[in-house]
Structure 1
């Protein structure tokens, strides 16, 4: 939502129009209005219980500023990780610890693995030089499967499935 829409919501709420009617006027689904109000109605202050558009915009901007960022998006960091994988033959676990100790980036090994496999499938020009990084991993082309939120190697998964039968 933008500031103009938030001012419209504030004005329509003051005229005591229903939330579903406000959604229809703004051409959004009703849950958008309900979510906007639940996030941005002050609980404590002189505006407690009221929707104030300027405060809502400030809160939305703060949430946007503080949200998680794509850490792997910097080109030097990608090249550094790729170099450590290719030439130093370091695992993603060692990479993440090394980067953390050097205060370059706080990056989990899982994030590095995910980036490697995403780049393998990617067709972007910027990712082409990283597309063969998976071959520098210890288990090259094999990838662990995730079942019910737990990672298993393919052989472990087959044993679990066979034991259930």
Structure 2
């Protein structure tokens, strides 16, 4: 039975398919929903610059909140919220989820966004601590495709990887510095969201990158099953990585960022600490490691607001 109510990953899939000119009928088929649902989703959640998944999801959340009624924001709650936003760099969703499992009273995440917007209007700086600065990111299409030999398509990847029921399936990516100079390698485990990251001294050069990837994953070699990347030339040495770790390395389809949605999400978290357009030479290796640890210790909704670090290490045994 096809889904009538869309979820966030499906919205990002719709956005990406619209960007490459896919028909609404084909989108419905790929997203496993009806054509009428796709039409309604686009019309209902279209912003001034077209359909974006982030805006659509926020509109959906807003509609849900209208049925929950108003909750009172107490001074104690406000102090706790401001501390978690500014000191811990938590999102409104993380603040609410963590309070729920701890049995603490808390307003909805949308109410927290209202607090942030009001604070900004009054000249405050809480908005600077949100991942997207209260704006929706524009997700550009990938650039020119690079020919990489002996690639394994994601279509050949075992179905168990999609279920995220086992630990050891990783997504690999790079974050690029100012003017395309400098890069940071990220490796994210799909089930837990556990992150490994390191600044690349040689930028996006494939050979040095492959050695860093192997070194970062080697301590977990016995439980590394698969690695998935985009089609960037920096992953040309995928066979070396696969051989050293005795794992299978797969490549996503071009223009299909939703197939590596965890990468997109994780890179967004990293950008809270390492701003877009900055020179990576300004950051020490120690700082990069601190960012990694902070992200791994942030509660996640999909983990019932436990931390990636805790769930990852528990999954190894």
TM-score, normalised via structure 2 length: 0.21
Structure with the larger helix share: 1
Q: Which has the larger radius of gyration?
A: 1
**Quick one: higher RCO (CA 8 Å, sep 6+), 1 or 2?**
2
Structure with the larger strand share: 2
TM-score, normalised via structure 1 length: 0.38
